[in-house]
Structure 1
Amino acid sequence: MPLTPVLTTRWGADRSWRLATYERLEGYSALRTALSMTPDELVGLVKDSGLRGRGGAGFPTGMKWSFIPQPKPGETPTGPAAMPKYLVVNADEGEPGTCKDLPLMMADPHSLVEGVIISAYAIRSSFAVIYVRGEAVHAHRRLMSAVEEAYAAGYLGRDVLGSGYDLELVVHAGAGAYICGEETALLDSLEGYRGQPRLKPPFPAVAGLYGAPTVINNVETLASVPFVVRGGADWFKEFGPEKSPGPKIYSLSGRVVRPGQYEAPMGTTMRELLAMAGGVRPGHQLKFWTPGGSSTPYFTPEHLDVPLDFDSVAAAGSMLGTTALMVFDETDSIVEATLRFTEFYAHESCGKCTPCREGTYWLVQILERIAHGRGTAQDLDVLVDTCDNILGRSFCALGDGATSCITSSLKYFKDDYVALLPPEEQARLGRSLRIEPVKVAS
Structure 2
Amino acid sequence: MKRPFVTLDQLRSMTEQYPTPFHLYDEKGIRENARRLKQAFAWNPGFKEYFAVKATPNPAILKILREEGCGADCSSLTELMMSDRSGFTGPEIMFSSNDTPAEDFKLAAQLGATINLDDFTHIDFLKETIGYIPETISCRFNPGGTFTIGESTEGFQVMDTPGDSKYGFTREQLFAGFKKLKAMGAKRFGIHAFLASNTLSNEYYPTLAGILFQLAVELEQETGCDICFINLSGGVGIPYKPDQPANDIAAIGEGVRQQFEKILVPAGMGDVAIYTELGRFMLGPNGCLVTKVLHFKHTYKEYVGVDACAANLMRPAMYGAYHHITVMGKEDAPCDHKYDVTGGLCENNDKFAVDRMLPEVEIGDLLVIHDSGAHGFSMGYNYNGKLRSAEVLLQEDGSTRLIRRAETPEDYFATLIFD
On whether the aligned pair clears a TM of 0.5, the verdict is no
Considering fraction of residues, name the structure with more helix: 1
Greater relative CO (CA pairs within 8 A, separation 6+): 2
Considering fraction of residues, name the structure with more strand: 2
TM-score by length of 2: 0.28
